[in-house]
Every structure is written in C-alpha cells, then in structure tokens.
C-alpha cells in the first residue's frame, strides 16, 4: 500500500520517535517537534506511538490515498478535506481508494501531523525513520510526486482517551549549567521579559528577540547540549534548542525548558511572543 504526494507544501518531513542515545556519536535525536500531537495522531488511527507520521509546516499538503486508509490530522488546527468535503481535525477519518486529502493553512500554530493506519513505512536509518534537518540523516524531505509506503494496519480505529496537553502559558525554565556565566540580573530579565519568535526559527532552534542577557564571563569551550537548552550567543538573545539541535555548542546555557512545554515551541509562529517562568531560588 502507498500514498502519493501530489503537493508537499513548504516543508513536510517524516518523523517517528527519533534516535535517542546517539548524541555521543554526534547524531541528533530528531523526531516530531510537537510530540504530544504526533502521539495523538497515532493513537487516533490505532498505531503504536513509534509509528512514522508526517510533520507538515504551515499546511499545503495534498495526498492521494492508495487502497483506502484511516488518517488523522492533529497539531496546528488546519482545514482538512477529503475529495473536497470538509473532515474533522484530531479525529480518525476514512479516505477511500483514490481519494484526495488536502490540508489547508493552519489558523494558528505552525506544524500539523498526519498519521495513517499502519504508519509510513520508509527505510529506517540508524534505527529511525525520522528526518534530521541539521545533518540530513534519515529520509529526505517529502517532495511532490513521492510514493510513501504504508505498513499493515491493525484494523479500524477504536475510541481512545486522547487528551491534548491543556497547559498554555510561559515556558517553565530550569537552571542551566551555564547560569553562573551570566550577570545576576540576567536571571531576573529572562523571567520577566517578553521575547519575540524570530523568522529564522526552524526545527533546529527557536530564535528569540528581546532584552539581551548580560554575561559576566567570555567564551567557553564547546560542551554537550540537551533538548530544550536555552543557549545565549554573544548578542545576548536566547535560542531554544529543538529536536534537530546540534549535540554540542560553544555558548553558555542559562536554562533548560521543561520537556512537557516544548510542544509550545513547535507551534510558536514568527512574530509571536513567548515568556519564561524562571526557577525559584532554593530557600535558605
């Protein structure tokens, strides 16, 4: 079974749970930026959580079903049509043989996720089907005219409890290993200021514009970086490392975003505002 890509949109990649545990070899993890949305899409069509999905940036995807498929679209809310008929978001929908499935531009957010019963069955690289846009490990970005193989499904989807994280608000920030590289007031600044998402943001990192964070020490040797690290280059504006981030970096990390909040970074559009909730100092 396969699905034909008639129009891939601005950037559509294949993502599964990624390649954890290979950072010591210089291989980023990759995987969906909005993991709760990808997991929800898989649950809706009866897949396991490690099944490969499509991550669609700002809509514009046009697929043609093969033998008929259960599909689900989650993440950034966007119009979904099957043969020109509007279908639901965040629910399982049947696309019959030869049906055209079209995703319009999302009304909010950035990334939508398309799951198909059986998962997208591309060839794994280093144990994963995830596309890494930093080193381009894994399958290449989806292109117009691609034929995407689909694995065997487990039958019709069954009702599931499919919660979406209800929390929206400031990103919770834990102290980073480089917090002592900054002036004392920098912690107060990052916890009380509004930052604007920059247009150069991507799957590698979310670039923010706002009050600079003053250092009290100079440059540092390169060191290991983890998902959610808030690294601060010399200009003082923070960068949040996302799924395709490099495994090392040479700028100090003032904090690390709570993992459960990273999905909000995935859906933050350029020009939108983000805030941080800084950690509280330990009581004496």
Q: Using a pLDDT cut of 70, give the percent of the chain over it.
A: 95
Contacting residues for 19 by C-beta, under 8 A, at least 6 apart: 27, 28, 29, 30, 31, 126, 127, 128, 130, 132, 137
Contacting residues for 207 by C-beta, under 8 A, at least 6 apart: 197, 198, 200, 201, 237, 239
**CA Rg, the chain, in Å?**
20
**How many residues are present in the chain?**
284
Over residues 133-173, the pLDDT tens digits come to 998 999 999 999 999 999 998 777 876 666 666 667 899 99
Over residues 164-222, the pLDDT tens digits come to 666 678 999 999 999 999 998 999 999 999 999 999 999 999 999 999 999 988 778 88
Tell which CATH classification among 3.90.1300.10, 1.10.8.60, 2.40.100.10, 3.30.420.40 matches the domain 171-277. Answer: 2.40.100.10
Cite the residue boundaries of each domain of the chain with CATH code 2.40.100.10. 171-277
Q: Looking at the whole model, is its pTM more than 0.75?
A: yes
Q: Please give the pLDDT value at position 158.
A: 73
């Amino acid at each position: 079974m396969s699905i034909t890509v008639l129009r891939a949109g601005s950037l559509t990649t294949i993502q599964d749970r990624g390649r954890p545990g290979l950072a010591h070899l210089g291989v980023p993890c990759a995987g969906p930026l909005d993991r709760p949305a990808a997991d929800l899409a898989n649950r809706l069509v009866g897949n396991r959580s490690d099944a490969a999905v499509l991550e669609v940036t700002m809509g514009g995807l046009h697929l043609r079903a093969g033998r008929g498929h259960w599909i689900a679209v989650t993440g950034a809310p966007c119009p979904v049509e099957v043969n020109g008929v509007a279908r639901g978001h965040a629910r399982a929908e049947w696309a019959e043989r030869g049906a055209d499935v079209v995703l319009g531009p999302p009304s909010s957010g950035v990334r939508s996720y398309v799951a198909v019963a059986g998962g997208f069955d591309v060839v794994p690289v280093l144990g994963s089907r995830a596309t890494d846009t930093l080193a381009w490990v894994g399958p290449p970005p989806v292109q117009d005219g691609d034929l995407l193989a689909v694995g065997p499904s487990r039958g019709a989807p069954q009702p599931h409890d499919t919660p979406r994280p209800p929390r929206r608000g400031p990103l919770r920030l834990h102290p980073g290993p480089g917090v002592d590289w900054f002036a004392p007031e920098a912690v107060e600044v990052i916890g009380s200021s509004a930052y604007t998402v920059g247009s150069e943001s991507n799957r590698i990192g979310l670039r923010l514009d706002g009050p600079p964070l003053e250092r009290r020490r100079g440059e540092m040797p390169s060191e290991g970086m983890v998902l959610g690290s808030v690294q601060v280059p010399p200009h003082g504006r923070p960068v949040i490392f996302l799924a395709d981030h490099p495994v090392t970096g040479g700028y100090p990390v003032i904090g690390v975003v709570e993992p459960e909040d990273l999905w909000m970074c995935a859906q933050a559009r350029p020009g939108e505002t983000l805030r941080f909730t800084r950690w509280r100092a330990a009581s004496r």
